[in-house]
Amino acid sequence: MENSESNISKINRRNLLKGGLALAGSTLLASNSLAAQVSNNDRAVTGKRKLGKLEVSNIGLGVQNMSRTYQTTIPSRPEMIRIIQKAFDNGITLFDTAEAYGPWECEKILGEATSSFRNKIVIETKYGWNIDQKTGQRLPGLNSRPEHIKVVVEAMLKRLRTDRIDLLYQHRVDPAVPIEDVVGAIKDLIKQGKLLHYGLSEPGAQTVRRAHAVHPVTAIQNEYSLLWRGPEETILPLCEELGIGFVCWSPLGVGFLTGAIDENTRFAPGDIRAIEGRFSPENMPNNLALVKLLQSWAARKKATPGQISLAWLLAKKPWIVPIPGTTQMVHMLENSAADSVKFSVDELNQFNQELSGISIKGLRLPQAVLNYSAVEAPTKP
């Protein structure tokens, strides 16, 4: 089984990027054939944990790329629906999307896929980018004006085919709108039964405190993985202090932690990873030490590098939930099976000791995108 899992990892993730998009079709056929041989990937997500008071599966599913992949290709909509439905069959109850994904298309896909089991899952989505509500055109900057939020939520409910949103995040803090005004609008929507919980994504720490003082924050959603551990400095301790859950976007480092990216990788035009400093030719050789560590532990634990990465996140805190995204069934099954990969106390200590010798070089995103993170909302006049 270990050899089969190793082969799947190489074929599905690494060779898909190394070999180029022209080989993608034949690669996927090969990967699906091999996937059937790996019983480990049939293991369901059985564990539960709490985001604040909201119970969800240990691992969620992100659907961001289901309307357009990193490589800028358009996935098969029927296949995306099958992946979402199979994820639910496999024990996943947390599904993540956003108004900006598409825009609007990923909410529509998720709504269609989950309509038959809507009451058995948790749907989380996000607002906050400045999107024209009539045309879907992405306008400059952000928009968290209270009246805009309420219009956005009405449209979300229709796209998601539901009467309420379980968890609604502000996608990025709006530097023009006091967070107290934002949470005031959220409270109105909660009173109307259109929202159940709310959260913030990539916020400044003081903004979290101010929001929590108006109405309890259920979860923070930030990038967090073995490749980017920035939240450990301020946000994770703050979540623990205030009893806030934490959801990790990009928990597999946009594919890097699976072994899919190395010094020979050439990204497709339009793939944002091509302009991320951590994947530059200067930084890649240094950063690949992390992948080698994961490959070593994957062999030891009879798992895949991606599963080791997710298991490490799950072992950090009982209120941390990763939401790996994918457009391939075999990857969703692999990610789900990470719930059964466990570290003993000694193993975790040893892994962290080996990890401490690795320092990642390069920015996680282009600076223009990073400028939207860790922003503090203005105070009320």
How far apart CA 239 and CA 237 sit, in angstroms, is 5
Give how far Cα 211 sits from Cα of 161, 165, 191, 217, Å. 28, 19, 17, 7
Compute the distance between CA of residue 292 and CA of residue 279 in angstroms, rounded to an integer. 16
- The predicted pLDDT at position 71 comes to 87
pLDDT of residue 187: 98
DSSP state, residue 13 = I
Please provide residue 181's backbone torsions phi and psi, each rounded to the nearest 5 degrees.
Answer: -70, -40
8 A C-beta contact, residue 232 and residue 202: no
Q: Quote the CA–CA distance of 90 and 121 in Å, as a whole number.
A: 12
pLDDT tens readout for residues 324-352: 999 999 999 999 999 999 999 999 999 99
125 DSSP β-pair partners = 168
Strands 48-51, 54-57: pairing kind: antiparallel
Return the amino acid letter for 197.
Answer: H
Nearest to residue 309, comparing CAs of 259, 364, 374?
259
CA dist 40 and 71 (Å) reads 28
In one-letter notation, the amino acid at residue 64 is: Q
**pLDDT for position 40:** 63
Radius of gyration for the chain, computed over Cα atoms and rounded to the nearest angstrom: 20
Per residue in 204-222, pLDDT tens?
999 999 999 999 999 999 9
Please tell me the distance from the alpha carbon of residue 186 to that of residue 180, in angstroms, as a whole number. 10
Domain ranges of the chain: 2-370
Residue 152 tokens, joined: 């956005």
Strand 320-322 vs strand 245-249: parallel, antiparallel, or unpaired?
parallel
Q: Is the peptide bond before 378 cis (omega within 30 degrees of 0)?
A: no
According to CATH, the superfamily of the domain at 2-370 is NADP-dependent oxidoreductase domain (3.20.20.100)
The 8-class DSSP code of residue 227 comes to S
SS3 assignment, position 314: helix
Q: For the chain, list residues with pLDDT below 50.
A: 1-39
Q: Which of these is catalytic: 101, 127, 169, 224? A: 101
Q: What is the pTM of this model?
A: 0.90
What are the C-alpha distances in Å from 351 to residues 289, 300, 346?
A: 13, 11, 9
Q: What share of the chain is helix, strand, coil (3-state, %, to 5)?
A: 50, 15, 35
Q: Mention every residue, 6+ apart, whose C-beta is less than 8 A from residue 213.
A: none
pLDDT at 41: 72
70 classed as catalytic: no
Return d(Cα 111, Cα 121) in angstroms, integer. Answer: 12
SS (H, E, C) 326-348: CCCHHHHHHHHHHHHCCCCHHHH
Tokens of 248: 């990790």
Q: How far apart are CA 379 and CA 307, in angstroms?
A: 42
Output the pLDDT for position 56: 98
